[in-house]
Amino acid sequence: MPKPNPVKDWQLDRASLRTVGRDLQRPECILAQHDGTLWSADARGGVMRINPDGSQQLIAQQADTRFTERGAGSGAERYIFEGTLPNGIAFDRNGDFLIANFGTDALERMNRKGESQVLYTQIDGQPLGKVNFVLRDSKDRLWLTVTTRARPWTRSINEKLPDGYVALIDASGIRIAADGFIGTNEVRLDAKEEWLYVVESNARRISRLRVQADGSLSDRQVYGPARLQGIPDGFAFDVIGNLWMTYVISDKIAVITPEGDERILFDDGDAAKVKQFDEHFFAGTVTPEVMMGCGGSVAPWTASITFGGPDLQTLYIGSLRGTTIPYVRAPAPGLPMVHWHEKY
């Protein structure tokens, strides 16, 4: 007889929340290591290292002379890190950081001294678009998401443009693996890497596609409700198969259970302001002023979920407007990411 799913009887207790880190800037994406070290994307360009003892160090991007932008053609040597805005981050096999840079529209690599290289700014001879997130799998392939190719990118919010895509980077280079997404955000793989899950923020849904041996994707389908109760941004699996999600702007944390049910576990939003935002969202009339009116007190514009701690049962919450990282004890351990047992 299967064990009951503990998340079905669990709510995040605000009083149990603690925080780590200080004076952070846009800690949108968080990586956790087995030794307790945390790394968060930082709007100053690069990542913030937060040690187990609470001390921290900003590692900022510094352009070096080893620009090797693969497949991008000439001009890579003139690339400079202006307007940098690290969004999604991942570890490369050797411990360097892979950075999906929302500001430079590029995939970059940075070592722990801050020396940075451009990897890709183009695909099929065209600019990548608004790069959002990067994920490495067990075969050392990279899955890169692009939210939209529209300019300005905020058109994607009001027009619900289906121009987002997922790119695959392997030994053959970079190629579009799947497209037609509405506001592509984070991607995750299940425990067996059989399915790739894709956040479509501006469609308010999660899609998934079956991963073939060569990295090609098929059998696209909506996972869970066709329209979620908020705008999904970041997500992560636990070992039971619950898909934990953050709802940006409305500042909710939710799960989709293995049965496909959506459950709200935490709500830190102002109901009236969120209602007003939603009216504009569905009418296609969102403005920066409407967006900025929303935001809770725990992790303003809640953006990501990361499992860490020695038993992977500490839940860290990333945000776009927070200056610290809230965390809480989760009811189940998270699914370990590919870097979890790597030592750098």
Q: What is the pLDDT of residue 330?
A: 98
H-run or E-run covering 305: strand 302-308
Contact 244, 250 (CB under 8 A): no
* Exposure of 249 in the CB half-sphere (CA atoms within 13 A): 26
By residue range, what is the domain housing residue 129? 6-329
Contact 136, 92 (CB under 8 A): yes
Q: Nearest 5 degrees, angle CA 332-CA 296-CA 34?
A: 35
Q: What is the pLDDT of residue 69?
A: 42
Domain assignment present for residue 295? The answer is yes
Q: What is the pLDDT of residue 301?
A: 98
Structure pTM? Answer: 0.94
Domain assignment present for residue 1? The answer is no
Handedness of CA 38, 40, 45, 46 (dihedral sign): positive
How many domains does one find in the chain? 1
How many Cβ atoms from other residues are within 10 Å of residue 273's Cβ?
15
- Strands in 33-163 per DSSP E: 38-41, 46-50, 56-60, 62-63, 86-91, 97-101, 106-110, 115-120, 122-123, 126-127, 131-136, 142-146
Q: What is the pLDDT of residue 63?
A: 65
Residues listed for the chain: 344
Q: What is the pLDDT of residue 344?
A: 86
* DSSP 8-state symbol, 157: H
Domain assignment present for residue 341? The answer is no
Distances (CA, A) of 31 to 35, 132, 154, 192, 338: 12, 16, 27, 21, 11
| Structure confidence by residue, pLDDT tens digits, 252-267 | 999 999 999 999 999 9
How many Cβ atoms from other residues are within 10 Å of residue 57's Cβ?
10
Domain assignment present for residue 337? The answer is no
Domain assignment present for residue 283? The answer is yes
| Structure confidence by residue, pLDDT tens digits, 227-236 | 999 999 999 9
Domain assignment present for residue 280? The answer is yes
Say if residue 331 is preceded by a cis peptide, omega within 30 of 0: no
Which CATH number goes with the domain that contains 167? Answer: 2.120.10.30
Domain assignment present for residue 144? The answer is yes
Q: What is the pLDDT of residue 62?
A: 85
Weakly modelled stretches of the chain, pLDDT under 70 = 1, 63-82
200-225: buried (b, 16+ CB within 10 Å) or exposed (e) per residue? bbbbbbbbbbebeeebebeeeeeebe
108-131: buried (b, 16+ CB within 10 Å) or exposed (e) per residue? bbbbeebbbbbbbbbbeeeebbbb
Domain assignment present for residue 245? The answer is yes
